[in-house]
Amino acid sequence: MSDQSQTPGRMRYLIPLFLFLIMAGFLFKGLFMDPRHIPSVLINKPVPEFNLPTLFDPEKLVSTADMKGKVWLLNVWASWCAACRAEHQVLNTIADMGIVDIIGLDYKDEEADGKRWLQQLGNPYKEVLVDKSGRVGIDFGVYGVPESFLIDAEGVIRHKFTGPLNYPDIKGVLIPKLNEIRGVER
């Protein structure tokens, strides 16, 4: 009998249990992960080029270049989006706080519905851009509404919020990120 090939004691019977616990740990963590949350590849990349009409004045066009030099939050929303309704109060709060300019992107929406929405719920946006075809949404890698992008003065995307913004996000993510952006830029 060769003794050295045997793992000493009863420990070897614990190996399967140990492996099981590692797997169970990963699977348990998986329960709380959202498969819909896909990390954006656009973080730290320049904002995609766009040139879009605004909701309240279709003659007026806003392009990527117009936003240079400003820190801004691009919020992709639509009047047909249920989660956007919950988010809207949070956007109103951010606008009231005056910590960052919010630009809305009305995504694949009817202009009349979009206008009515803002009349009913308030307008937190400095400007609302209309992306009727959804083409600009594709360039931003939008795959669901709402989504929000935090963009610095150099026109670089610094953070992406997938899904509706909530109140804890303001203090927990938005303000620290804004400080980071403005601190670096100064």
Q: What is the contact surface with other proteins in residues (CB under 8 A)?
A: 1-2, 5-6, 35-36, 38-42, 108, 133-135, 137-144
Question: Nearest 5°: CA angle at 116, between 110 and 119?
Answer: 145
Question: Minimum CB separation from other proteins for residue 32, in Å?
Answer: 18
141 or 155: whose CB is closer to other proteins? Answer: 141
Question: Minimum CB separation from other proteins for residue 39, in Å?
Answer: 7
115 or 132: whose CB is closer to other proteins? Answer: 132
Question: Minimum CB separation from other proteins for residue 33, in Å?
Answer: 13
110 or 180: whose CB is closer to other proteins? Answer: 110
Question: Minimum CB separation from other proteins for residue 108, in Å?
Answer: 7
